[in-house]
Structure 1
Amino acid sequence: MQEIRQVSLDQDKSKITNNILRELPEWFGIEEAITNYVNGVNGTDFYALYDLNQPVGFISIKANNTFTSEIYAMGISKNYHGCGWGTKLLKVAEEHLVKNDVKFFMVKTLSDSHPDKNYQKTRRFYAKNGFIPLEEIKEIWGEENPCLIMVKNLL
């Protein structure tokens, strides 16, 4: 049985994040980045996808201000890619944001000016779910990893 639950304990958020991100080296292959995400999910709104009480996906949402929140980190075990669970995690997060009068939802991802095929899938996923490219910024992750900011209007 699969279900999405809100997770409130920071130690559970960190553990889920660590386990899932380590299953996804194509997206999260830099140890320092994994450690930053594992620590950074603390204090965020966090929803996990469970299959038979085993976490297999998550989304962590960070409030930037009263109008805008962003996906801090998101990951789904590879066996669950393409099954619609990423979209369901997004919907649960968006419902919470709308109830709290948040107007914009954003995500930072690797820009399409970088040839990584895995991130092509990531950008397609976000575009399919209503996010549109806003700006590429090379100052966030450096010239070699250009950051694309994508946004979605929640109104």
Structure 2
Amino acid sequence: MFAFKKLLNDEEKLKIADEILRNLPQWFGIEEAIVEYVNGVRNTDFYVAYHLDKPIGFISIKSNNEYTSEIYVIGVLKENHNLGIGKKLLEVSQKELIKNKVRFLMVKTLGESHSDKNYKITREFYKNAGFYPLEEINEIWGKENPCLIMVKNL
């Protein structure tokens, strides 16, 4: 029913990231952030979930150092939430990281001190996937958007 594929072509990465992020305004509603994320996927490992050859989700993983990688950005179209797509994208990317002897996977998301209900769901997704909160800081995105760093041991 669903297919998962690693993409290498930067233009395809940009197109898919742009299309999906623009269809998730509850999480990606700031134009400058969308543009930054889309341009940033170029030098990342990029995995796509397809349904009938249509991209419905992706995960972009960047390497921070030889031991730690980071979920740079992830998005699954809202109508495909709760079908295991995000979980499978994580599994596919983590298999590759483990094969390459990466030890930790981290993610930055909106912190718990912010009341946004959509990001509460996002944090639950990460917790259910084995991530633990490490620290919430204001220095990355500012006081109005506290950044929660979460980490998982691979």
TM-score interval, smaller chain: over 0.9
Match for residue 140 of structure 1? 140
Paired amino acid for 2:104: F
Q: Which residue of 2 aligns with 1:102?
A: 102
CA distance, structure 2, for counterparts of residue 38 and residue 109 of structure 1: 17
Q: Which residue does 1:2 correspond to in 2?
A: 2
Give the match for residue 118 of structure 1: 118
Shift of 1:55: 0.4
Amino acid at match of 2:33: A
Structure 1 unaligned spans of 5+: none
* Match of residue 54 from structure 2: 54
Q: 2: CA distance between counterparts of 1:112 and 1:150?
A: 11
The aligned amino acid for 2:13 is K
1:61-76 matches, cutoff 5 A: 61-76=61-76
How do residues 12-23 of structure 1 correspond to structure 2 at under 5 angstroms?
12-23=12-23
Q: Deviations over 1:87-127 (max 9, x none)?
A: 00000010000000000000000001000000000000000
CA-based RMSD: 0.4
In the alignment, structure 2 segments of 5+ residues that lack a partner are: none
Aligned length: 154
What secondary structure, in the 3-state scheme, does the structure 2 residue paired with 1:25 have?
coil
Q: Which runs of 4+ in 1 moved over 4 A?
A: none
- Normalised TM-score (structure 2): 0.99
Q: 3-state DSSP class of the match of 2:124?
A: helix
